[in-house]
Amino acid sequence: MSRLRAQIAVAFLLCAGASAPALNPPTPLTPLILNGSGLSGAASALAAPGQSASAQSAPPDGAAQATATMQTFTSADGRFSVLLPGTPKQETQQVSLQGGGASTLYEFSVDLENDNVTYMVMYNDYPANYANEAPQTTLARTRDGAAKDKTLTSDTAIDLNGVPGRAFTLTDKDGWLYSVHQFLNGKRLYQLIEVNSKDHPATLTDQFMNSFRMF
C-alpha cells in the first residue's frame, strides 16, 4: 500500500487545467450540508508534537475492520479531528504545484486488512498567490487530478458548517475503489480518502467521513 499511498498523495493535490471526466449520466451538483456536533472526549497527547489521540494503541496489523476500535485523532497543527481505526502513520512530503511553487503535504493514514483497506487524512496549505478562484473551482481541479487514469463514479458539492467541499468516488483499472471528501478552508485543503481493493469492502467509511471536524 505504500506505493499506492504515494500515488494517491501526489494525484490528489491540485491539478490545474485538467478537464473534468464525464459522468454517464451526469451527476447533479446539489450542495449537501453536513452538520453535527463536535467529537466528544478529551484527547491524550501523542509522541509527535502537535498531535493527539484518544488512545495510544498501534494500528491493527491485518485485523478485520470488525475488530478495529475507532479512536479520536486530533491534529493541533492541522486544526482537525477525526475518527480512525487505530493510531495513524504520519508522513510529510514536499510536492511541486503546477504553475510553480510547492506545498507541504501532511498525511495521516491507517492500513487494515493486510493493506487492502486504507483510511487517510491529508492537508496542505497553498501559497497566497495560488488557488485564488472560487472554492468549488479549485475543488473541481483537485478532483480532476485525483481522477486522472481512473473512472469517476459519483461527484457532488458538499458543505461542512459553511466550509465548501466536494465528495466523489473513483475506481481504477486494478480494481481499487476510492471514496473522497475534500474541503477548502481558506488556503488549506483537507482531503479524507478511503481506499480499498474490490475483494475487501470498507465498512468504516461513513464513521470516518462523518466524524471529521475542523477547528
pLDDT digits (tens, 9 = 90+) for 53-100: 433 344 443 445 878 889 999 999 999 999 999 999 999 999 888 778
- 207 three-state secondary structure: helix
Model confidence, pTM? 0.76
Residue 181 has pLDDT above 90, yes or no: yes
Residue given cell 483499472 in the structure block: 173
Q: Please list the helix, strand and coil fractions of the chain in percent, rounded to the nearest 5, in that order.
A: 15, 40, 45
Instruction: Give the Cα separation of 193 and 5 in Å (integer).
Output: 10
Q: What is the pLDDT of residue 99?
A: 77
Topology (CATH) of 2-214: Protein Transport Mog1p; Chain A (3.40.1000)
β-bridge partners, 154:
169
Residue 37 has pLDDT above 50, yes or no: no
Q: 207 near 70, Cβ under 8 Å?
A: yes
